[in-house]
A and B are shown apart, each in its own frame.
Chain A
Amino acid sequence: MIALKHISRLYRSDEIETTALLDVNLSINRGEFVAIMGPSGCGKSTLLNILGTIDRPTTGAYMFEGADLATMSEAGLAEHRANHLGFIFQSFNLVDDLTIRENIELGLLYRKNLSGSRKAMVEEAMDQVGIAHRARHYPHQLSGGQQQRAAIARAIVGAPSLLLADEPTGNLDSENGHQVMEILKSLNAGGVTVIMVTHSQSQADQASRVVNILDGRMVLSVNRVPA
């Protein structure tokens, strides 16, 4: 499904050149649950952003189901994100001024050629994460766990083939963190490819593969059978 070939990402400011990623090669198959691990500042989030096409590699090729995303236009990438990707963030990033339902509906807003009823899709996503009873509330009225479940609903409402999660449980207590992990696992079981950045070994243990990054290089990729 995904093939990263010799991906590097350099950041240049006036005098300093920082290497965030160096010559990363990574293939991910449909249906995998990949955990990306590594210490702070190692380039995990850069890798996730490149996978999510909200950052471009400096060099290298990014093939997604046969299409080269590294050279695709901005508009093409936007369409790609709308049709194929779902994002989950550590700080939820719900829009304050929209209700939970409206936030989730945002996940469909930029999709063209939408088949089926938008309303039904939103209802289904809310049911899937158990947030339907909060549909008319605003994000600040919800607990962290509820906000993250709403954010997941927004990410999956368009039935993406790839779900990108950047420390999705980082701002949650263990009980809510556990719930979120369960949702991700069940989505994965339903066929969605999940790539998740995490600090937690116990969460990484629940993935089907662990990729370790250190100082911008991929140091280890371990396939494991989920417990």
Chain B
Amino acid sequence: MIKNTLLTFYRVTVRHPLYAGLNLLGLSFGIAVFVTLSLYAHFETSFESWVPNADKIYDVGILWTLPGRPAQQSTTSMGGMLDQMHEDYPDLVGTRILEFNATVHLGSDVVQEKEQLVDPDFFKLFDLPLAAGSKQGALEPGRIMLTESMARKYFGRVDVVGETLRLSDDEGALNYTVSAVLRDIPRNTDRNFDFVRLLTPESHKLMNDYWMHWGSASLLTFVRFDTQAEADHFQAGLDDFVDRKGASEARNGVPYHTSESLHLLKLRNLHLRDKQSAAAVVTLALVGLLSFFVAAINFINLSTARAGMRAREVAVRRTLGATRGDLRLQFLGEALLMTLAALIAGLSIVELSLPIINATGGLGLSLDYRHQAGFLALLTGGVLVLGLLAGIYPAMVLSGFQPAQVLASSRSPSGGRFGMRVREALVVVQFAVVIAFFVLTWGFERQIDHMKSADLGFQRSGLMIVRADDPAMTLASVQSVITAFRQVPGVSLASVSNYAPGDESYTSGGNIKLPGDTGAETNLTYAAVGPDFFATYGARLVVGRFLDEAHGDETPVAEDSSETIVIGRKAMQSIGFRTPEEALGKTLRQGKRALQIVGVIEDLNFRSPKDETLPMFYYFHRELKNNQIVAIRYDGVAEPEMRRRLTDAWRQAVPDVPAKLVSADENLDQYYKPDRNRSNLFSAGAVVAALVGCIGLYGMAAFTASRRMLEVAVRKVLGASRRMLISLLVGSFLRPVLIANLVAVPVAYLVLSKWLIQFNDHIGITAVPFLVGGGTAILVAAATVGMLAWNAANSAPGRALRSE
């Protein structure tokens, strides 16, 4: 019996390649999309899960509640906070992680790498496996750990314990002895432990001003609790802790924790802490599920339709003594074999496409048959259930046919009106999903394009940015770099500031008192800018003037002095001025300092376009003390050539610091990258779903056309024209597609508008994607069905009638 099922399956597959191919192709693509998107969702949700005891590790984050600003959660915290916590909670286990761009000296060569400075308890939280050396004494002054990759990069081998490495960071250029080699960190992490060494008072000396300054946030603080109850208990005491330690920051008798409160964030939740990212991951997982769903519908539809054409075979088998059970087994077996074949094909497609997806998306997706055995078992189970579903319907319906009736008629029974209704409903669902996918893909792509071309208040092309914030750089070396840049042919302007496109951090100017005696305050962000800053960025002045030396804008050091500032439009609104003209000349107060507004500009948006525009003010320093970022405006030279020239100029001026040049476009690109990755994955899913939908429709149409051959022949004999016949056949298939439009349009509209709301500056939804998506679906459906209808309408009626 099994042999016969295999034989029949093989024959049906080989002798009806179109049907088998369409069915297999549709399902395997559906499976491929589902697996890929599941892997993506798994990847995104598995960040830090590889850290041993990840569930016991918490980041101490800050929730800022500042006047005039939406509440904002940060993962960073004050440098000295853990020390203060140890005063009150002596048994607390925790470590800070301070990230630096450190320079590794390799002979005369300099390479920038990421360095993590951590506390001695580091391994009690992040118990990372070692490739060489021992944890004992690994974190002592003068010693350093590095990853396998770094060991290979700098020494060409893994076991480099005892070797010496010259590294410069905030502590200056020093030699370190390698104490241990860490195994490479998996890709699903936001913590890149490349070089790890002990955090010492010397290493944060540049931050001394802010180390114990409540209101600052400069590093990550992680703590460990073995039970949730301990964590909850600790959390409960944090408001009091903040009020005790940050008492000096409290104003007007309001407890300080109302402005800055501490919250434990689970290490594992940090990656998708941002609701938008989490939603995007969920959306993609759903798309994967939907693709599979569409493919499954398709598969069931085609299988049952095809099986219906085998009613005669079933009747014959029954006269030969087959029981209903025999026949059910046969059809179930065939469906299961088909789904298994599709599963193998689908997984092959995944294996072939993962390298491309990883390369383009910077992801680390992989199909790991050993570690994802659970997922694969679930997938296989799901596919087999699908096979059962696809097999059960024909198995039940066909085995229930009365063989006498089937044999008496030359036509195949259709499974009745119910069967037709079910199939039509399935086509509706399938096409609704496809149309909705089309509209959403259109919306996502347009929004990303929109963000890329959005007015950010500065001119992005012809702008290069280089961070001169390496600790090894002095005031003099920054000046020499700027001087060198200005002499590069093609460079028109070069300026320095402490805030630039791509910056994640910003400096809060604290609460600014508004003009007048109401005592009202608002929170503004500020940036220090050097000469030519506004001209270099191409900022647009609304009223007043830019800041420059000629007007004596140099900001005095004294805290009770008066200074001149330029504000952005957003700050103007946040302060409460109705027009730029009204703002001009007004004086704000920041503590004892008086800030006089001498100009209003269009906002410079240096951060992600998803984020709200910051209310900014700018003040002038001829020379910045730290955190210098140099911007270079150039013209008439191609970007790669300019990059080369600037790199050369940098090397001449400061040979022992690596040059990190990025274009303004690249700098901004990082913000679009996750969105673009997700949009690409979504589009891939949508395209496949659409393809599968069309395959399904074609299969259904082919099936229906062949079933209606007799009807077509009779109508022909009765004098129906070819055109009438084609419109009859096409029309009957357009109805479900039209209904699908009615279902898809409101759903797609709702989802798209919800998605767009998250962007500060978003596109409007027009009728275009709905018309194009719905129209395309109708056209594709009409074309597929029309082709078959044409053939049917052209066939000679005699043949179809004779077999009756």
**A residues touching B (Cβ–Cβ < 8 Å)?**
45-46, 49, 52, 54-55, 74-75, 78-83, 85, 87, 89, 91, 93-98, 102, 106-107, 109-111, 154
Pair A83/B321 contact, Cβ less than 8 Å: yes
User: Are A55 and B402 touching (Cβ within 8 A)?
Assistant: yes
Partner of B324, one of A74, A94, A97: A74
Q: Which of B8, B317, B319, B403 contacts A97 (CB 8 A)?
A: B8
Closest to B10 in A: A97
Which of A52, A75, A109 lies at the interface centre, i.e. has the most chain B CB atoms within 10 A of its CB? A109
Given contacts A98-B11, A102-B7, contact A110 B407 (CB under 8 A): no
| Other contacts beyond A46-B404, A49-B404, A78-B318: 6, CB < 8 A | A83-B321, A87-B316, A97-B313, A102-B11, A110-B320, A111-B321
Residue B678, interface by CB 8 Å: no
**Residues of the B chain whose Cβ atoms lie less than 8 Å from the Cβ of A75:** 323, 325
Chain B 306-353 interface residues, beta-carbon cutoff 8 Å to A = 312-313, 315-326
Q: Which residue of B lies closest to A110 (CB)?
A: B321
* Interface of B, helix, strand, loop or mixed by DSSP: helix
Residues of B near A89 (CB, < 8 A) are: 407
Interface pair B408/A54, CB less than 8 Å apart: no
A109 CA to B1 CA in the complex, in Å?
Answer: 7
Q: Is the CB of B320 within 8 A of A87?
A: yes
B324 & A109 in contact (Cβ 8 Å cutoff) = no
The smallest C-beta distance from B310 to any residue of chain A, in angstroms, reads 8
A93 touches B407 (CB 8 A): yes
List chain B residues, Cβ under 8 A from A87. Answer: 316, 319-320
Q: Is the CB of A81 within 8 A of B1?
A: no
A81 engages B410 (CB within 8 Å): no
- How far apart are B27's CB and chain A's nearest CB, in angstroms? 21
B248 within 8 A of A: no
CB <8 Å contact, B8 and A54? no
Q: Is there a chain A Cβ closer than 8 Å to B15's Cβ?
A: yes
B475 at the interface (CB under 8 A from A): no
Q: Is B12 an interface residue when CB atoms closer than 8 A count as contact?
A: yes
Known contacts: A55-B404, A98-B11. The answer to whether A82 contacts B320 by CB under 8 A is yes
Known contacts A54-B403, A91-B410, A81 near B15 by CB under 8 Å: no
Would B323 and A74 count as touching, CB distance under 8 A? yes
Q: How far is the CA of A95 from the CA of B408 in the complex (A)?
A: 16
* Set B4, B312, B315, B410: member contacting A109, Cβ < 8 A: B4
Most buried by B among A52, A78, A81: A78
Inter-chain contacts of A45 with B (CB < 8 A): 404, 408
- Which 4 A-B residue pairings sit nearest by Cβ, starting from the closest? A82-B321, A110-B321, A78-B323, A81-B321
How far does the Cβ of A90 sit from chain B's closest Cβ, in whole Å? 9
By a CB distance below 8 angstroms, the chain B residues around A83 are 321
A74 to chain B, nearest CB (A): 7
Least CB distance, B714 to chain A, in whole angstroms: 20
**Chain A residue with Cβ nearest B12:** A97
List 19 interface pairs A-B (beta carbons < 8 Å), by A numbering. A52-B319, A54-B315, A54-B407, A55-B402, A78-B323, A78-B324, A81-B319, A82-B320, A82-B321, A87-B320, A89-B407, A93-B315, A94-B316, A97-B11, A98-B8, A106-B317, A109-B322, A110-B320, A110-B322
> Given the complex of chains A and B, what is the CA–CA distance between A39 and B1 in angstroms?
41
Contacts of B7 in A (CB 8 A): 98, 102
Q: Which residue of chain A has the shortest Cβ distance to B408 in the bound complex? A: A45
User: Bound complex: CA of A78 vs CA of B407, how far in Å?
Assistant: 17
B321 near A78 with CB under 8 A, answer yes
Q: Which residues of A contact B8 (CB under 8 A)?
A: 97-98
Selected contact of B319 from candidates A54, A95, A96, A98, CB within 8 Å: A54
Q: Are B316 and A110 in contact (CB under 8 A)?
A: no
CB-based nearest A residue for B403: A54
Q: Which residues of A contact B324 (CB under 8 A)?
A: 74, 78
Shortest CB-to-CB span from B753 to chain A, Å, is: 51
B15 x A97 contact (CB < 8 A)? yes
Q: What are the residues of chain A within 8 A of B315 when measuring CB–CB?
A: 54, 93
Cα(A75)–Cα(B324), bound, Å: 8
Assembled-state Cα–Cα distance A79/B4 (Å): 18
**Docked-complex contact A54 and B313, CB < 8 angstroms:** no
Contacts of B1 in A (CB 8 A): 109
Give the one of A97, A102, A109 with max B CB within 10 A.
Answer: A97
Interface residue from B15, B326, B402 paired with A110 (Cβ < 8 Å)? B326
Tell me the bound Cα distance from A80 to B322 in angstroms: 10
Contacts of B317 in A (CB 8 A): 106, 109-110
A102 to B12, CA, bound (A): 13
Question: Which residues of chain B in 1-49 are interfacial with respect to chain A, using CB atoms and an 8 Å cutoff?
Answer: 1, 4, 7-8, 11-12, 15-16
For A55, the chain B residues whose CB sits under 8 A away are 402, 404
Closest to A46 in B: B404
Give CA–CA (A54, B1) in the complex, Å. Answer: 22
- Which residues does chain A contribute within 8 Å of B320, judged by CB atoms? 81-82, 87, 106-107, 109-110, 154
Taking the closest CB of chain B, its distance from the CB of A21, in whole angstroms, is 13
Measured CB to CB, the nearest residue on chain B to A88 is B319
CB distance from B303 to the nearest CB of A (A): 15
Query: Closest CB of chain A to B226's CB: distance in Å?
Result: 63
For the complex, give the distance between the alpha carbons of A95 and B11 in Å. 11
In the complex, which residues of chain B have a beta carbon less than 8 angstroms from the beta carbon of A95?
313, 316
Q: How far is the CB of A190 from chain B (nearest CB, A)?
A: 21
Distance between A135 CB and nearest chain B CB, rounded to angstroms: 15
Q: Judging by beta carbons under 8 Å apart, are B316 and A78 in contact? A: no
CB distance from A153 to the nearest CB of B (A): 13
Nearest CB in chain B to that of A78: its residue: B323
What 0/1 pattern do residues 389 to 409 of B give for CB contact below 8 A with A? 000000000000011100110
**Beta-carbon contacts under 8 Å, B161-217 to A:** none
Known A-B contacts A75-B323, A89-B407; the reply to A54 vs B318 at CB < 8 A is yes
CB distance from A70 to the nearest CB of B (A): 15
Q: Is the CB of A110 within 8 A of B323?
A: yes
Is A54 in contact with B323, judged by CB distance below 8 angstroms? no
* Smallest Cβ-Cβ distance to A83: which chain B residue: B321
A80 to B403, alpha carbons, bound, how many Å? Answer: 15
A79 to B324, CA, bound (A): 11
Residue of A with least CB distance to B14: A97
Q: A54-B402, A55-B402 are in contact. Are A93 and B323 (CB under 8 A)?
A: no
